[in-house]
Amino acid sequence: DIQMTQTTSSLSASLGDRVTISCRASQDIGNYLNWYQQKPDGTVKLLIYYTSRLHSGVPSRFSGSGSGTDYSLTISTLEQEDIATYFCQLANKLPYTFGGGTKLEI
Amino acid sequence: QVQLKESGPGLVAPSQSLSITCTVSGFSLISYGVHWVRQPPGKGLEWLGVIWAGGSIHYNSALMSRLTISKDNSKSQVFLEMNSLQTDDTAMYYCARGGVGNYYAMDYWGQGTSVTVSS
């Protein structure tokens, strides 16, 4: 199985900061990388699919990039409502493994 | 609007079976697949399996022997059954829609249902 690694499990930032969260796959996944946001109440939402495509209704301050095995999610200007845990997810091979998550704190 | 809602037993005794129902609205199971994902307390997300619109099913191989996913298109319901539960199956269980044309992303999620395995 392909392993998905988010090396930073917790990240502290200030409101207004530019924040980047990283994800690494154990092999080339051809841009089939999705990002999800989980709020403290457990609510999960899709943010980005296929590396860089913004899901409907997601604010434009979120963006994604990467290729091969290395991918990242960037929040251009951190807002209070962005406090959450972020998960990457493999989407081109079964099982659709998730990264361990990066908890974003103020 | 698209909605998914999980319903489950809450508490299950060790070695017993679990049944969870995901009731969807705002879309048809004839057109969209549904994934199951779980999250143990304080841990990450684990993909369990998916039932595609056409009815084919894929399971996480690590759990395949204990899992059954099925659906009733006419009732807009998807079912997850897991047998031989142990304490490490304690988790929040989510269903999520498999999007169309979005490279296999899970585009809408339910709120989750908490399952505790305990005697």
The pair of structure tokens assigned to A101 is 């998550």
- Interface mutation vs chain B, best among A7, A10, A49, A97, most B CBs within 10 Å: A49
Q: Which of B4, B8, B20 is nearest to A46 (CA)?
A: B4
Give the gap in angstroms from C-alpha A90 to the nearest C-alpha of chain B: 9
The Cα B50–Cα A47 span in angstroms is 20
The pLDDT value given to residue B102: 80
Ranges of chain A with pLDDT below 50? none
Give the gap in angstroms from C-alpha B49 to the nearest C-alpha of chain A: 8
The amino acid occupying position A83 is: I
C-beta separation of B18 from B12 below 8 A = yes
Ranges of chain B with pLDDT below 50? none
The pLDDT value given to residue A74: 98
The Cα A39–Cα B53 span in angstroms is 29
The pLDDT value given to residue B62: 92
C-beta separation of B105 from B99 below 8 A = yes
Q: Which of B90, B89, B97, B83 is nearest to B22 (CA)?
A: B97
The pair of structure tokens assigned to A93 is 């091979």
**B96 interface with A at CB cutoff 8 Å:** yes
Q: In chain B, which residues have their Cβ closer than 8 Å to the Cβ of A98?
A: 37, 44-47
The pLDDT value given to residue B99: 82
Q: In chain A, which residues have their Cβ closer than 8 Å to the Cβ of B45?
A: 36, 38, 44, 87, 89, 98, 101
